[in-house]
């Protein structure tokens, strides 16, 4: 099987307004990742990452008032970071265009607080050994934005440039359909979304 490269190049229909809240969130996540990378490399200790996540992530056993926000910005690794930034770029900008910046920020804040509360309750009942595990990541906002795209933009298309067979090809992917296939694949593979020693979202 040959090498396949995929590069997103556009979203359709084009956004009717700038998604300032989403763009600011993505910048904040990137800057936090940069600070995290610099700090961990200066420290040079293996346990430094766990200490960083415990400081800024949401720890159900010791909830802190600022952690509901900082937990959104902190990510466990480069793959976790890249997946959430891509999800925000693909979906959250549409959600902000659909609801407006103010309502998107409000819905995002409410969703984050509710998600942390529900996950804390579930961990207390079903995974008490993981109650000290930091919860990090912005996947809950990606999921909220995916729902907004599914309902508000059923015909949204992602245009990608696909390199395969020694040539570039342009394809369009229906975002709601792609989300459905991804969800079904996750169910088939039994994906869970969290694993010790940290819970990523």
Residues with Cβ within 8 Å of residue 132, at least 6 apart in sequence: 59, 60, 61, 62
Bridge partners of 135? 58, 199
pLDDT at 69: 94
Q: For residues 122 and 139, give the distance between their C-alpha atoms in angstroms, rounded to a whole number.
A: 17
Which residue is it, tokens 């925000």?
Answer: 88
Number of structural domains (the chain) is: 1
Q: For residues 64 and 71, give the distance between their C-alpha atoms in angstroms, rounded to a whole number.
A: 11
Rg (CA), the chain: 18
Strand order in the sheet with 5-12: 5-12, 157-164, 167-174
Q: For residues 57 and 21, give the distance between their C-alpha atoms in angstroms, rounded to a whole number.
A: 21
**CATH assignment of the domain containing 193:** 1.20.1540
Q: Identify the helix (H) or strand (E) that includes residue 174.
A: strand 167-174
Residues in the chain, total: 201
Q: For residues 47 and 53, give the distance between their C-alpha atoms in angstroms, rounded to a whole number.
A: 10
pLDDT at 148: 87
With CA atoms as reference, report the closest residue to 97 among 141, 145, 143: 145
pLDDT at 129: 81
pLDDT at 17: 82
pLDDT at 46: 77
pLDDT at 200: 66
How many C-beta neighbours within 10 Å does residue 2 have?
A: 7
Per-residue model confidence as pLDDT tens digits over 58-77: 999 888 889 999 999 999 99
pLDDT at 131: 84
Give me the residues of the chain with pLDDT under 70, please.
Answer: 1-10, 163-168, 170-171, 175-201
Containing structural domain, residue 41 = 5-200
pLDDT at 188: 42
Per-residue model confidence as pLDDT tens digits over 145-162: 988 888 888 777 777 777
């Amino acid at each position: 099987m040959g090498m396949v490269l995929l590069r997103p190049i556009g979203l359709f229909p084009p956004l009717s307004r700038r998604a300032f809240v989403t763009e600011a969130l993505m910048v904040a996540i990137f800057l936090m990742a940069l600070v995290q990378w610099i700090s961990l490399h200066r420290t040079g200790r293996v346990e430094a990452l766990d200490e960083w996540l415990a400081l800024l992530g949401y720890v159900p056993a010791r909830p802190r008032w600022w952690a509901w926000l900082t937990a959104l910005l902190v990510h466990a690794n480069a793959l976790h970071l890249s997946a959430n930034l891509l999800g925000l770029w693909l979906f959250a900008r549409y959600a902000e265009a659909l609801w407006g910046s103010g309502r998107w920020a409000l819905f995002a804040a409410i969703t984050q607080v509710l998600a942390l509360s529900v996950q804390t309750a579930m961990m207390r009942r079903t995974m008490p050994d993981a109650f000290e595990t930091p919860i990090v990541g912005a996947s809950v906002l990606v999921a909220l934005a995916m729902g907004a795209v599914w309902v508000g933009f059923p015909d949204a298309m992602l245009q990608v440039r696909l390199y395969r067979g020694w040539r570039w090809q342009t394809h369009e992917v229906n975002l709601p359909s792609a989300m459905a296939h991804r969800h079904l694949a996750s169910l088939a593979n039994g994906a869970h979304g969290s694993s010790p020693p940290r819970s990523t979202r």
